[in-house]
Structure 1
């Protein structure tokens, strides 16, 4: 972990305004604390993936900022990371989105005063850059059930209903999702499953610890595959995840690798960092690049 010798005072903040009340308050109050500390802040609001990426890239190349900040959820993080990959500028977070899984993973504070202090003075750690079909992503790719759940969640704007919306989405997906086989290939082995999560961190939806040995600082993927079909088996596996029952089972397989290829029907839903982008086939691997992430 690296500790910067200079105080960060110049921030480009890429903000997704589609946040709930708590997220908006955290964003506004954190920005206010930074301004009180004499920081220069340039804020750009956007909900468009390509625009967020482009703004982050231009800001990183400008030399006018000490850090680029993603203010939103994991999708905003995804866009900013894609934009700054290959530069040495630190990436900061104001976790004002719905899930904020990555910010939980690195134990960011959730109060404006503490978060502003982290952005100005917090140490950084370097994260190896992973790519999916050549495009950088932050931490997770899902094919099958979880991507179908994201589809339903977004279609019906279920974030408005909080925890109830998440539960209702899971139940609806369990009922209507059409499972299809997914071929998984690593340099060491090949197998077939009906739901695949390729992750670099321990936490999954709702902060559940799905892969307790994963480490974002390492160039490794944890390939979590659910191999048996059927709503009952899927419901049982979801219950295991909910109650943090880890490890292999007849239905669950976890493999660790540095490269993986996923193939199957192009109609299968795909989520990358919680956003519905991409489709099969997918090739995931690591580059030699690293991105500095500001942490507490």
Structure 2
């Protein structure tokens, strides 16, 4: 019996080794299971199941409002729009509607909204862009701006391409940007007046009265107009009024320069400005310009502080008496000096009421909208969604 103990020890040792080996194997297996990378899904797992009964997601739809007077060949322009949109796989064939003399875009834009499109583009000058923007103000439908006019100031201030293909590509693929909209009321009625105008004794400005009418997404009131770039009265409007479409087509921006030279010494007029409900400020002016953005063509900056999304309107009162005075104003503006000049006063506000002794012509984004003795300008902060993919350009 005593001679058998080596055998028993050997067997016990072997059993312990086997047990230890099994334990280590199990432990290593569990450790490997905890730290191993999960199995990568196959590429096919990312693809939707091939089921003929499952409908594909609907493509997005865009409505394009086009001003036919800006093109020598409207059919070619329409074909280019369709071809450009269909080059984007996720967009359906565009809905294209042309503006008319009777309806410059209000009705066409309203119809597109009713159809539930994902995007509405305006192809035309600043007037066409303004008209479409008027209807889209306050809605959640984004707007694409495809400049095709003489000035194209809104497109230039936003740094947008100045051609149909480039403009549509930005509109279809760009990012949404919320910008301010200027609002003009000609000879405002009691119902359209703000608290500041009705109660001038208020200590300070209140929020602008942006909900006083129901024109968002519908026809404008007869005496109310949106603007995106600038609105003005006096010389500014006279220049627009006397510049013909034929001259603009032949001379481009130079047509406005020629008209300005003819109207430069028009009679000045007495005016009173009530800034955000404050005390009236009197001027004998050549022109009053109210801007949502300040850059003109050729790199000229009339309002250095103006931004399209700052919730503020910039106002310029220009008051020279003669040619010498105008020369001083011109040098001041071309030098991009932000401070005031003896014949040029700047203001910033959310609303301004301009009162005149005699009616003056009024223009919005280059379109003359009539004459008035009282004109109210206000800002609707970030009320319009536009498509853009580039920062605001300083070279326009």
TM bucket by the smaller chain? Answer: 0.7 to 0.9
Gaps of 5+ in 1: 1-5
The structure, 1 or 2, with the larger RCO (C-alpha pairs under 8 Å, 6+ apart) is 1
1:146–1:207 CA distance, 2 compared to 1 (3 A): farther
The answer as to whether partners of 2:310 and 2:381 remain within 8 angstroms in 1 is no
The alpha-carbon deviation at position 143 of structure 1 amounts to 0.8
SS at match of 2:371: coil
The answer as to whether partners of 1:7 and 1:120 remain within 8 angstroms in 2 is no
1:237–1:153 CA distance, 2 compared to 1 (3 A): same
Residue 157 of structure 1 is matched in structure 2 by: 247
The answer as to whether partners of 2:147 and 2:163 remain within 8 angstroms in 1 is no
1:146–1:119 CA distance, 2 compared to 1 (3 A): same
Find 1:166's aligned residue among 242, 251, 256. Answer: 256
The alpha-carbon deviation at position 120 of structure 1 amounts to 1.1
The answer as to whether partners of 2:147 and 2:167 remain within 8 angstroms in 1 is no
The alpha-carbon deviation at position 239 of structure 1 amounts to 4.4
Alignment of 1:15-54 (within 5 A): 15-19=66-70, 29-38=80-89, 39-48=92-101, 50-54=103-107
Residue 234 of structure 2 is matched in structure 1 by: 144
The answer as to whether partners of 2:303 and 2:338 remain within 8 angstroms in 1 is yes
Alignment of 1:250-261 (within 5 A): 250-261=342-353
Find 1:76's aligned residue among 121, 125, 128. Answer: 128
The answer as to whether partners of 2:229 and 2:294 remain within 8 angstroms in 1 is no
Alignment of 1:1-296 (within 5 A): 9-19=60-70, 29-38=80-89, 39-48=92-101, 50-63=103-116, 65-133=117-185, 134-154=224-244, 157-175=247-265, 177-186=266-275, 187-191=277-281, 192-194=283-285, 195-204=287-296, 208-280=300-372, 281-287=374-380, 290-296=383-389
Q: RMSD over aligned Cα, in angstroms?
A: 2.9
SS at match of 2:267: coil
1:153–1:41 CA distance, 2 compared to 1 (3 A): same
- The 2-side partners of 1:91 and 1:209 are apart by 25
Q: Deviations over 1:3-47 (max 9, x none)?
A: xxx998421111112226699988864553223335421111114
Equivalenced residue count is: 289
The alpha-carbon deviation at position 235 of structure 1 amounts to 4.1
Gaps of 5+ in 2: 1-56, 186-223, 390-396
TM-score, with structure 2 as normaliser: 0.65
TM-score, with structure 1 as normaliser: 0.85
Residue 3 of structure 1 is matched in structure 2 by: none
SS at match of 1:183: strand
